Chains A and B, each alone.
Chain A
Amino acid sequence: MAKGLNLSSNSSLKPDFRLSSPKTWFRTAIAIDSTTTLSRRHIYILPTRFGWLFGVLLIGLLTGSINYSISLGFAITFLLAGLGLITMLYTWRNLANLKIEAKRATPVFAGEQAIFELNVIDESNRARYSIFAMFADQEPDIQDVPALGESKFRLSLSSQKRGWLKAPRITFSTEFPVSLFHVWAYAETENQCLIYPNPSLRSQILPSADSDGATGQLLTTQGDDDFAGHRNYQFGDSPKRVDWKASSREQGLLVKQFQGEASSTLWLDFNATTGNNIELRISQLTRWVVDADAQHLKYGLRLPQLSIQPSSGDTHYHQCLTALALM
């Protein structure tokens, strides 16, 4: 509880709800420097429903053996009981002492699936089989981990809001080799994925030369005659610009690209957007950034607290989106 009173930045980010929800009563392996190990203290084990069924089988066999005085029946019953106990240990050690390394998650636009990558490493020189990793209520990723090797797990989570999406607690589990026991452990990697704002889809807001203000101008025309080639479809592209004909020939969706005036410089200004809803305005700015980048324009971003000098290229593009995401 002392931890809860501690007002360091770390614990204030993470409210202490350990007593409120039973799901948080379990020990969790918490990552330091994005790395953690599922040590003995973090491993939990319970029989699966098949484990209980197996138990019922054993009781049935034992009473049968007693009733009919079948000595070999005792032997087989005890052999199966031994099998149960041995597999309990096998299942436990299939998960214990795995090292978890969280990888940087690639930013995505809000609404897309955020992919968290994890390296799961065996350091005990023992191959691990059928390791499940999942966020609560999400589809698990299932992999084997070679002895002294590693496997890359990809866990996806749907993103809704812009900003940092923290990876929730990850449940690692396994039932190998015989599915009679369920062994699990929780890990928190403190990994986070940056979620860019969702680019607005409303095309009528696209600024043009004749729209208001000297600063909020997109100086290119959208004329079809300036066709400059194709690029791959990106999330947020208008379906109107997809070249269906070309897409059918090639792999994946292709979008028509139009050449603007190379020298034109563009300021995308928060004040140029309209409306009362800040999120919608951010969304609008995001759309402009995506479009400007798609057209290889030189553009700058002006936000209430921050402005980014006009430039172009990938680094600049991501810088702008990051600024929008964290605004």
Chain B
Amino acid sequence: MFNRTGVNVMASQTGTQTHISMHAIIWLLLSLSITFTLYAFNLENWVPACFIVFAIWRYLIEKNNWLYPSLWLRLPLTLAGGLAVLLTYGSLFGRDASVGLLAVMISMKLLETRTKRDFIVMVVLSYFLTVNILLFTQAIWVFLAVLLALTGLTACLISVSHQNKKIIPSPQIWKVQAKLAAKLLLQATPIMLVLFVLFPRIPGPIWGIPQDSYSGMTGLSDSMEPGNISQLSLSSKIAFRVEFKSAIPANNQLYWRGPVLWHQEGRRWQMTSDSIPLPIETLETSGVATDYTITLEPHNRNWLLMLDLPEIAASALPAEARIKHDMQVLSKEPIRTRIRYQGHSYLHYKLGAQLSERERTLALQLIEDENPKTRQLAAKWVSEKKSPTAIVEAALKMFREQEFIYTLAPPRLGKEPVDDFLFNTKRGFCEHYASSFVYLMRAAGVPARIVTGYQGGEINPNGNYLIIRQSDAHAWAEIWLQGNGWVRIDPTSAVSPDRIEMGIGAALPDSNLLPLLSRQDYPMLKHLYMNWDAVNNGWNQWVLGYDQAKQLALLKKLINKDIAWEDIGLLLVVTMIALMLFVSYLLLSNKGIALSPTNRIYQQFLKKLAKAGVPKLRHEGAINFGHRAAKALPNQAIEILEISALYSSMQYAKHQASSEKTNKETLSILKQLVKNLKIK
């Protein structure tokens, strides 16, 4: 330690190198550690590992006065880093690759960060890297962690900016630096709020977005194979939230309609193609409509989920949304930001009173020569001259009465998947039941199709809204019956009625693979989670979902007048000028830190003596001044000496652990003494 200080003094005297304190390095490494921890969830594991190695290396260089690695070591390392990114991500562009490259290069640059200039460039790059985490996730806790990292980086800037030739900074200086960094960011907050609310929100994108930008989003796919949905059910990610205008319908009524699948090919079920559009099915509704607002999480697909069955004319959907013939609602662009829309649905309805020839063909389509046992069973039912209703009953009865099991971990199915499932394994998740049921129906000549979507949801009592997670993903069937139109049949309910009545958590044993929060065995955890989700919901509505439309609506509410988009700019400029004037007034006009009560009283004492012609000199200590003043004013000598002694002992006592009470008493004595001091 001594040795290093000596070297540093030499360095600053010769002016060749500005000394950087250990604090700056620790601030930088700590802040980057937070950033890389966040990235550990989103980037390949070797990227944060690479940072850890270089961070420790850099720390040891500083601590043990090691030599910095030479260019001949750094150059191959840099090339290797770039190559590793290229091999991992297949390119240097795109979201993951470019962020990965930046992260790796920043880690390596640590090894050549030594002067003030290096540090500042490093901090600016680190600011950039830290903010880029928001491309991956915008959760509240990520935001808080980002704020923490930014505070650390600012403290690093403060540390390198604090140059001083004489005083070697005390080891406690980091507290001052941390406090100042936090203070700077706190004082910047009003400016942030004004800009956030008023800065005109231009809807993006300005340029193309890398293909992989939304790869992390989960949701229903446009096709279904056994295993798809059970995979989705492992995720506790929120799919969407729903607020109801009136009472929330019963759980078994909550079918959230997504992609409708018609086309079968082996295990795979797909949507109808859009090339030859079919006419939209007719809809007759009865009963009271349900009105609700959905906040849909981005899933990088076009589906807008709606409660079965929506009346499009009365729903407030995003612009350019359309409805397919089978009542699934699609947006024009894939949904990549959180959106909100209003739905108007009827729980009682009659859909598609007539079935055209083309629709019938599509609804009976099966690949020939597969699943012979299933076809045999269907043929048997047909030969028994059963009505379509009876065939449905027979199928459901089979699911109910035979030993079918509802499970998230079904065994793999063989070459004839439907046969294998129905007659052999008998264990499956909703997609197994829905697809085999539709297969059976079609084989028996009953038009049928699969509907995928979500079923149920969880009521959050704190916000009185419904949370629907990916684990609520579901698949069911619709069959067409003469006179009734398309009728929803949920074969899963035949096997596991709890799934439909009470949700997936009730239907599966707790030891199963379900996400923690969908389970039933942690009520306390669940309660906490519900509070947290209510906060999250507000966050999504007001922070993450704040866009041009919200901005205009908010401003309209605030100034009680319609405001043109162009006028926001003017409003912003005026508000910012006013705010900056106010902030400047606060920061520049005040007279620094307020005096302590002790000092304030002592200043009164000094004023009295100065009036009497004995001003205190700047260099004079309190005791020395007391002696001089006592000599100059012999009549008040005793009082002056006592006040001086008391004051200096109190200044000293600040560093002692004296009790609050004693301090107060001494202060009042000092006050009294100064008050009674009369100089004539």
Given contact pairs A66-B202, A69-B204, A72-B543, A150 touches B618 in the complex (Cβ within 8 A): yes
Please give, as numbers and ranges, the residues of chain B lying within 8 Å of A208 by CB-CB distance: none
From residue 173 to 189 of chain A, which have CB atoms closer than 8 A to chain B?
Answer: 175-180
Give Cα A73 to B588, complex, Å.
30
Does any Cβ of B come within 8 Å of A205's Cβ?
Answer: no
CB-CB under 8 A from A263, the residues of chain B are none
Task: State whether the Cβ of B157 lies closer than 8 Å to any Cβ in chain A.
Answer: yes
Interface segment out of the listed A54-62, A280-288, A291-299, A306-314: A54-62
- How far is B143's CA from A45's CA once the two chains are assembled, in angstroms? 33
Q: Is the CB of B160 within 8 A of A179?
A: yes
Q: A71, A72, A92, A125: which contacts B547 (Cβ < 8 A)?
A: A71
* In the assembled complex, B206 has its CB within 8 A of some CB on chain A: yes
| Contact for A126 among B184, B201, B544, B592, CB less than 8 A | B592
Q: Does A244 contact B (CB under 8 A)?
A: no
Chain A residues with CB below 8 A from B205, complex form: 66-69
Complex interface: stretch among B128-136, B438-446, B481-489? B128-136
B164-204 interface code vs A (CB 8 A; 1 in, 0 out) = 11110000000000001000110111111001100101111
A83 to B204, CA, bound (A): 26
Kindly state the separation between the CA atoms of A70 and B165 in the bound complex, as whole angstroms: 44
Chain B residue, CB-CB nearest to A73:
B134
CB pair B337–A89 under 8 Å, yes or no, is no
Q: Least Cβ distance of B571 to chain A in Å?
A: 15
B314 at the interface (CB under 8 A from A): no
Contact of A78 (CB < 8 Å), options: B195, B545, B546? B195
* Nearest-Cβ distance from residue B298 to partner chain A, whole angstroms: 10
In the bound complex, what is the Cα–Cα distance between A78 and B618 (angstroms)? 44
Q: Residue A219 at the B interface, CB < 8 A?
A: no
Using A57-B124, A66-B204, A143-B164 as known contacts, say yes or no to A177 and B180 having CB atoms under 8 A apart.
yes
The reply on A124 being an interface residue by CB < 8 A is yes
CB distance from A131 to the nearest CB of B (A): 9
Given contacts A61-B128, A70-B135, contact A175 B161 (CB under 8 A): yes
Tell me the minimal C-beta distance from B35 to chain A in angstroms: 12
B524-551: contact bitstring with A at CB < 8 Å (1 yes, 0 no)? 0000000000000000000111110000
- Closest residue of A by beta carbon distance from B546: A71
Is there contact, CB below 8 Å, between B191 and A86? yes
Flag if A79 contacts B189 (CB, 8 Å): yes
B167 A144 Cβ-Cβ under 8 A:
yes
Please give, as numbers and ranges, the residues of chain B lying within 8 Å of A86 by CB-CB distance: 184, 187-188, 191, 583, 587
A180 to B184 alpha-carbon distance, docked (Å): 13
Q: How far is the CB of A321 from chain B (nearest CB, A)?
A: 29
For A89, the closest partner residue in chain B by CB is B587
Is A89 in contact with B584, judged by CB distance below 8 angstroms?
Answer: yes
Check B124 against A177 for contact (C-beta < 8 Å).
no
**Do the beta carbons of B588 and A93 come within 8 Å of each other?**
yes
Q: How far is the CB of B624 from chain A (nearest CB, A)?
A: 16
Residues of A close to B154: CB separation below 8 A: 83, 178
A53 touching B131 in the complex, CB below 8 Å, given contacts A82-B189, A144-B164: no
Q: Which residue of B lies closest to A76 (CB)?
A: B131
Question: B657 interface residue, CB < 8 Å from A?
Answer: no
A278 at the interface (CB under 8 A from B): no
Interface size class of B (residues with CB under 8 A): 35 or more
Contact B188 A70, beta carbon cutoff 8 Å? no
Please, which residue of chain A has its CB at the minimum distance from the CB of B200? A66
A142 in contact (CB, < 8 A)? yes
Q: Flag if B206 contacts A129 (CB, 8 Å).
A: no
Q: Quick one: given A67-B207, A70-B135, A75-B192, are A129 and B543 in contact (CB under 8 Å)?
A: no
Chain A residues contacting B588 (CB-CB under 8 Å) are: 89, 92-93, 96
Given contacts A60-B128, A66-B202, A75-B192, A141 and B157 within 8 Å (CB-CB): no
Give Cα distance in the complex from A64 to B135, angstroms: 9
List of A residues within 8 angstroms of B546 by Cβ: 71
Query: B-facing mask of A71-105, CB < 8 A → 1, else 0?
Result: 11111111111110111011011001000000000
Q: Assess the B188–A143 pair: CB atoms within 8 A.
A: no
Is A227 part of the binding interface, using a Cβ–Cβ cutoff of 8 Å? no
B195 touches A81 (CB 8 A): yes
Most buried by B among A76, A81, A144, A176: A76
Instruction: Give A75 to B205 CA distance when docked, in angstroms.
Output: 18
Contact A130 B161 (CB under 8 A): yes
Q: Are the C-beta atoms of A178 and B121 separated by less than 8 Å?
A: no
A136 → chain B closest CB, angstroms: 15
Cβ-defined contact, A75 with B157, below 8 A? no
In the complex, are the beta carbons of B196 and A69 less than 8 A apart?
A: no
- Residues 207 to 232 of chain B near chain A (Cβ within 8 Å): 207, 209, 213
B596 to chain A, nearest CB (A): 11
User: B146 on the interface (CB 8 Å rule)?
Assistant: yes
Tell me, yes or no, whether A50 is within 8 Å of chain B by CB. Answer: yes
- In the complex, the answer to whether B162 meets A125 with C-beta atoms within 8 Å is no
The contact size tier of chain A is: 35 or more
Which residues from chain A contact B131 at a C-beta distance below 8 Å? Answer: 61, 73, 76-77
Least CB distance, B475 to chain A, in whole angstroms: 32
Given contacts A67-B205, A177-B180, A178-B157, contact A126 B164 (CB under 8 A): no
Chain B residue with Cβ nearest A131: B164
- Bound-state Cα–Cα, A93 to B192, Å: 22
User: Does any Cβ of A come within 8 Å of B593's Cβ?
Assistant: yes
Is A130 touching B164 in the complex (CB atoms < 8 A)?
A: yes
Once A129-B164, A139-B15 are accepted as A-B contacts, the answer to whether A87 and B593 lie under 8 Å apart by CB is no
Contacts of A87 in B (CB 8 A): 184
Are A130 and B184 in contact (CB-based, < 8 A)?
no
Inter-subunit contact B195/A71 (CB<8 Å): no
Of the candidates A67, A79, A179, the one whose C-beta lies within 8 Å of that of B157 is: A179
User: CB of A326 within 8 A of chain B?
Assistant: no
Tell me, in angstroms, the Cα distance from A126 to B595 when the chains sit together.
11
| B350 CB within 8 Å of chain A | no
Report whether A141 and B165 are in contact in the complex, using a CB–CB cutoff of 8 Å: yes
Contacts of B121-145 to chain A: CB distance below 8 A: 121, 124, 127-128, 131-132, 134-135, 138, 143
Chain A residues lying within 8 Å of B161, measured Cβ to Cβ, are 130, 175-179
Please measure, in the bound complex, the distance between the C-alpha atom of A53 and the C-alpha atom of B127, giving whole angstroms.
12
CA distance A144 to B204 in the complex (A): 48
Q: Which residue of B lies closest to A122 (CB)?
A: B592
**Which of these, B160, B187, B209, B545, contacts A67 with CB under 8 Å?**
B209
Query: Considering only CB atoms, which chain B residue lies closest to A178 in the complex?
Result: B157
Chain B nearest CB, measured from A121 CB (Å)? 8
B363 to chain A, nearest CB (A): 40
Minimum CB distance partner of B210 in chain A: A68
| CB pair B545 A71 closer than 8 Å | yes
Nearest Cβ distance between residue A80 and chain B, in whole angstroms? 7
Give the residue among B134, B167, B547 with the most A Cβ atoms within 10 A: B134
Partner of A178, one of B158, B191, B336, B580: B158
A82 touches B190 (CB 8 A): yes
Cα distance A75–B188 when bound, in Å?
11
**B134, A76: Cβ atoms closer than 8 Å:** yes
Is A63 in the interface zone, CB < 8 Å from B? yes
Is A147 interfacial (CB 8 A cutoff)? Answer: yes
CB-based contact A89/B166 at 8 Å: no
Say how far B535's CB is from chain A's closest CB, in angstroms.
15
- Chain A nearest CB, measured from B340 CB (Å): 13
CA distance A126 to B589 in the complex (A): 12
Cβ-closest chain A residue relative to B545: A71
Closest CB in chain A relative to B579 CB, distance in Å: 9
**Contacts A67-B209, A82-B189, A144-B167 given: A72-B143 contact, CB under 8 Å?**
yes
Q: How far is the CA of A69 from the CA of B146 in the complex (A)?
A: 18
Contact B191 A78 (CB under 8 A): yes
Is there an interface contact between B207 and A147, defined as CB atoms closer than 8 Å? Answer: no
15 A-B pairs whose Cβ atoms sit less than 8 Å apart in the complex: A50-B120, A60-B128, A67-B206, A67-B207, A69-B204, A71-B546, A76-B134, A77-B131, A78-B199, A79-B191, A80-B188, A81-B195, A85-B188, A85-B583, A126-B592
Q: A66-B205, A72-B138 are known contacts; what are 14 more A-B pairs with Cβ within 8 Å?
A: A61-B131, A70-B135, A71-B547, A78-B192, A79-B185, A82-B189, A89-B587, A130-B164, A139-B15, A141-B165, A143-B164, A176-B162, A179-B160, A180-B157
Q: Which 4 A-B pairs have the closest CB atoms?
A: A82-B188, A82-B191, A125-B592, A126-B592
